[in-house]
Chains A and B, each alone.
Chain A
Amino acid sequence: MALYVPVEAVRYEKLDDLSLVFHRLSGETHILSPEMEAIYEAIPAGGADAEQILFRLEAVHGLVEAEEGDPASALCLRLDQLTELGIVRHIS
């Protein structure tokens, strides 16, 4: 089962309506959209698979909908984007 784990070498700061992730290794600062912020916050420190993350999202935000396709595949797409940014690790 593939696990998504938040990378430790980041600093996460929430402002009033903006969430920032400073990546210590690259020195880059990423601004998360509200959607990405919710997903990022739903990933536990020890990691979780997409199904567990979707469950956590629904527990906090209610029913999760996707603009296209099913919520699970839309979530995987976003998780992959967080992985590409280097702020989440993907462990197979």
Chain B
Amino acid sequence: MRLRIGPAIFDIRSPFGGAIASLRHLYRDYPQGMPDEIYDFTVAALPTTPWRRWFRPSIRLQADFTVEEAVPVALRHALLAFEMGVNMQMALGYRRDIILHAASAARDDRAVVIVGDSGSGKSTLSALLSWSAGWRHCGDELALIGLAGDYSLTPYPRPIGLKNQSIPVMRERVSADRFGPRLEGTMKGTVQHLLPPVDAIQAMDRPARPALIVSPHFTAGASPEIRRMTQSEAYLRLSVASTNQLTLGEPGFDALIRLIRSVPAYDITYGTSEEGLQLVEKLWGDVE
């Protein structure tokens, strides 16, 4: 199947028909088909060995860009394998923008970029912003920042990968038909995908200009706190968060420097979802 997420078209292949059908359903609001379009990346989910197609089915990824330490995944977690494969192509192979391991959301075509390690709360915060506060979801995993012009952010709004405690937080707020299947016992615990609002997917070709950078720190019971990062701190965080800065050379370095010089960055700590939203709204009010 062919699938477009943001600016990239993926050619996705697998002999496991059920896995492809699940993917088609999860990505039902995204452009699919496009047999005549030139695609950017190939991602294939193949049986680990020929007999593992039928006996305790397990898949391995074969794609344009892979990492050696990739481990086989049980067929019941195929959606995760596809997601890993698709993200890996963007993180390692995409060259048109600098890529940050970050979530993002836009309001009036200006964006907040949410950087943080896995588990820091960036997916949940981006889900809350789009589903509870009217922001346009632009991505929960990778933020694509332009290398020239106004250094705008290109949306890459794939389904939001909710994990563990963040799943009930969003189940309270979003109707069940926007969720993918619940995947238990993955390497990250329980994972469930949440489809962004249809409007956000339909607007995925509309760029947004970064106006605010936040690094969330969700700790249950913590008091809300805002701390401005120095430019040096912001550079070090974003530099580590970038998956392709080295590959891009000077344009990547330049884009990162311009971003941290022109956009204020903050650490935000909060103990509840509502507090997290309030902190982002407060900072947004300040930059407007």
Contact = CB atoms under 8 A, between A and B. Distances in A.
Interface of A: 11, 13, 15-18, 20, 22, 24, 27-29
B118 interface: no
Shortest 3 CB-CB contacts between residues of A and residues of B: A18-B232, A15-B231, A22-B253
A18 B239 CA distance: 13
Interface of B: 230-232, 235-236, 239, 246, 249-250, 253, 257, 260-261
Contacts of A28: 246
B250 A15 contact: no
B232 A17 contact: yes
A18 B232 CA distance: 6
A65 B249 CA distance: 37
A18 B246 contact: no
A34 to B, nearest CB: 12
A22 B230 contact: no
Nearest to A25: B249
Contact of B260 (A15, A17, A24): A15
Given A11-B253, A15-B235, 8 more contacts: A13-B257, A15-B231, A17-B230, A18-B236, A22-B250, A27-B246, A28-B246, A29-B239
Nearest to A28: B246
A75 B257 CA distance: 30
B234 to A, nearest CB: 8
